[in-house]
Structure 1
Amino acid sequence: MVKSELEKLGLEYRSIDLGMVELLKPITPMQRSELDRNLLGSGLELMEDKKSILIEKIKALIIHMIHFSDELPQVNNSDYISEKIGYDYIYLSNLFSEVKGITLQQFIIIHKIEKVKELLLYDELNLTEIAYRLHYSSVGHLSSQFKKITGLTPTFYKQIKNKRRENLEDI
């Protein structure tokens, strides 16, 4: 999407990665305005504020790490995020909390629980395998975080979803 908009406007770029575009030449105000308008039509926006860009990079990295990677990194989250983004983790964590109103760790937990919900619905892995895959120290720890976020145990959540599926099939 972004690539095609850049090409439509004749803008040459070096790279597009994690929502960041590195242009080869400066962009004119008219090109910027047209690019902004075209991207907004697709639900995207141009950002120039360095803090906002950094927050979006962090969010994209975490979402990719949890939802789209086959396996989570073997290093701890703070080292991984710091290495990939290129900033000290404490700085990133403080900035994230200041801008988003939740801690970076809370954001990670929320996305891990969303992944747990998804894996429970696929019914291919048991809770022990899910806990291992998402680097939880134990099934109990996973269950505790799951209940804290959703208000339900993983088993009860799965039962509710299965019941709803059965009810839809009966219609």
Structure 2
Amino acid sequence: MNISKELKQKLIEYSDEIASKKDFLSIHTNDEKGREKDKIGISQYRTLAEIASNIDSYDEFELYIKYKESKRNGWDNIFDGMKYGDKIIEYMRKIKNDATEDILPKALSLFFGYLYWQSSYRVKPIRTDASQNNTGFGKQNNNSKNGNKYYNSNKR
């Protein structure tokens, strides 16, 4: 049940084709938990990767993507001329044609994992020094360079 290097490369190319489209940033949220109602949180790709690795039926998984699209939480946004969920299904069908049935769950899982990686570096904001100093709970982060009293920037 190993996936060939060629198929892995194709999956990476598919994820890059999606993530490099100009609409990609506009339909995603920087909030990893996806709390912006009409945008997709990038952690959803991790969840989809996990679900894909355990699917019993490709059709069932495709139906799940259609369900996500119907919830109107970003998956119905227009992306490259169609609903984003439909675009993802288009790529899932390509993967189904590229992979044998025994490795299809693994291939789909890798695809969504690659989409997670793509969105992580393309969508997530670059953290500023101010955000690195704050733990998010109103407390100073003593492990960051700027908040660590023992950190000496002259020692490199």
Task: Flag the structure with larger Rg.
Answer: 1
Fold shared, TM-score > 0.5 on shorter chain: no
Smaller-chain TM-score range? under 0.3
Q: Which has the higher contact order (CA 8 A, sep 6+)?
A: 2
Q: Normalising by structure 2, what TM-score?
A: 0.26
